Structure 1
Amino acid sequence: MQWTDEGVVLGVRKLGETSVILELLTREHGRHSGLVHGGRSKALQPVLQPGNTVQATWRARLDEHLGTFHVEGIKLRASRLMGSSLALYGLSALAHLLRYVPERDPHFALYETLTVLVDHLDDPDLAPALFVRFELAMLAELGFGLDLDSCAATGTARDLIYVSPRSGRAVSAAAGEPYKDRLLKLPGFLIGQTKANRPSGSEIRAGFALTDFFLHQNVFAPQGQRAPEERARFVALATAGDE
């Protein structure tokens, strides 16, 4: 068995004195791990860092085997991202979230969303909103996507400012008014209604509150788990001193 694909490094685990087990999210083969001989060498260590994009050739005798990777760097972002606390917490949080995705299943849309996110993960103007969108993409890939295109009650696409915690569908201002204390806020940047180049801190907080609710309800809680601490730290940095 053999294939070659592009992938983003999620993490590495030491194996023996010189090798590592590399974990990638690949474009066509999903989340995939493999052994890299010599992965702890001076030549490969800078390449096998979280956030980098690599070209990986995987080989194994049988498909169910761990197999081995031969890896070459394509886009090495890690040295830049390591200088940003926001990016470091973001990398840890996204890797944790991606481990809920079944191994070896392709997730094309999620991969594209991830590559855009890691390109800008150290940019405080762009990373927070991109991370919220990444979490929405995660929910969709796991079968819990939100429907934010029209009002669940009236079908209108106007004045959408709430989300139903039961259905995950948008709700208009008029339809949601009697129940507003029980509805989640829908930040305008998720439906193209933010006029500023950068969403406000309150919008970003509303976005993370929205994804946090559905991630907890549908992903973390059913497995008896909680959101990673790194996510909370990322959110705190992303919204610090911004209203």
Structure 2
Amino acid sequence: MDFTSEAIVLQARKHGETSAIMETFTRDHGRHKGLVRGGAGRRMRPLLQPGNIVEVEWRGRLEEHLGYYTVEIVEALAGVFMEDRLSLAALNSIAALSREMLPEKQPLPDLYDVTKIVLERLNDPEIWPALYVRWESLLLQGLGYGLDLTRCAATETTDNLTHVSPRSGRAVSAEAAEPYLDKLFRLPPFLRGEPIASPEDVGDGLRLTGHFLETRVQWERNRTLPEARRVMVERLVADGLAIFP
């Protein structure tokens, strides 16, 4: 089975003297690995940096085999991230969550497209923190744990949705939420389509998606969220781009 696909590099590890095993998030085949001959060499190593957008051709005798990648660069984004610690922290978080949570060889083209959009905007700290929260929300959806932010869990109304239940992942209206404010997550308006996200909104969004990633996805694997995500959140807070209550 052979295929060609656009892909985002998630990781490359040296294998033997000159080769590397590259893990990618491909648009058409999900998270996928392959051996890159010469991947540890001076010419190929810059292409295999996490965050780069590449075109890969995978060849293998059987689908379950590791197989071999040939790689062509599409967008060399990694160098941009290396120049900014905040962008690099976001990239590391995206790559870590993708490696740990994405099912192998399962296509998630919508999530791939959003991932690419976030990576291409990591040089703009006024934009990407809210995009990153949306990415985590779509990651939950792709894994089968999508949040239902369309109507109130208690009244079925679609108006004035202000909170989210930590148990069901469903939205709650302001009126229904009033007696339980200390137990609910605040729903940041940008996750309901508002164009502007304040640092408080970003913090609330990260708390919301982080809770469900940990309790729905990582709990089943007896894991907590990756260290890379914690580092990213700490740097967002230190730079005033996310505020937690």
TM-score, structure 1 as length reference: 0.95
Match of 2:203 in 1: 205
Deviation of residue 109 (structure 1)?
Answer: 1.1
Q: 2: CA distance between counterparts of 1:203 and 1:234? A: 16
Provide, for residues 85-109 of structure 1, a one-character-per-residue CA deviation record: whole Å limited to 9, x for no partner: 1121112211221121111111111
Match of 1:139 in 2: 140
Secondary structure of 1:182's aligned partner: coil
Read off the aligned partner of 1:85 and give its amino acid letter.
R
| Contact kept in structure 2, 1:162 and 1:171, CA below 8 Å | yes
Deviates further, 220-229 or 232-241: 232-241
Q: 1: CA distance between counterparts of 2:6 and 2:190? A: 30
Deviation of residue 122 (structure 1)?
Answer: 3.1
Deviation of residue 124 (structure 1)?
Answer: 1.1
Match of 1:219 in 2: 217
Match of 1:72 in 2: 72
Q: 1: CA distance between counterparts of 2:168 and 2:219? A: 17
Q: 2: CA distance between counterparts of 1:98 and 1:230? A: 12
| Contact kept in structure 2, 1:86 and 1:122, CA below 8 Å | no
| Contact kept in structure 2, 1:9 and 1:54, CA below 8 Å | yes
Root-mean-square deviation over aligned CA pairs: 1.3
Read off the aligned partner of 1:150 and give its amino acid letter.
R
Match of 1:19 in 2: 19
Secondary structure of 1:124's aligned partner: coil
Deviation of residue 238 (structure 1)?
Answer: 2.0
Structure 1 stretches of 4+ with a deviation exceeding 6 A read none
Q: 2: CA distance between counterparts of 1:94 and 1:79? A: 16
Provide, for residues 175-198 of structure 1, a one-character-per-residue CA deviation record: whole Å limited to 9, x for no partner: 11111111111001111235x4xx
Q: How many residue pairs align between the two structures? A: 240
Q: 1: CA distance between counterparts of 2:29 and 2:109? A: 9
| Contact kept in structure 1, 2:96 and 2:228, CA below 8 Å | no
1:193 correspondence with 2:194: yes
Q: 2: CA distance between counterparts of 1:125 and 1:230? A: 21
Q: Which runs of 5+ in 1 are unaligned?
A: none
Q: Which runs of 5+ in 2 are unaligned?
A: none
| Contact kept in structure 2, 1:107 and 1:141, CA below 8 Å | yes
TM-score, structure 2 as length reference: 0.94
Deviation of residue 2 (structure 1)?
Answer: 1.0
- 1:8-47 correspondence runs (5 A): 8-47=8-47
Q: 1: CA distance between counterparts of 2:122 and 2:31? A: 20
Deviation of residue 65 (structure 1)?
Answer: 0.5
Q: 1: CA distance between counterparts of 2:153 and 2:210? A: 21
Deviation of residue 149 (structure 1)?
Answer: 1.1
| Contact kept in structure 1, 2:7 and 2:25, CA below 8 Å | yes
Match of 2:115 in 1: 114
Match of 1:97 in 2: 97
Match of 1:241 in 2: 240
Provide, for residues 177-235 of structure 1, a one-character-per-residue CA deviation record: whole Å limited to 9, x for no partner: 111111111001111235x4xx2111111000001111111112222211112211211
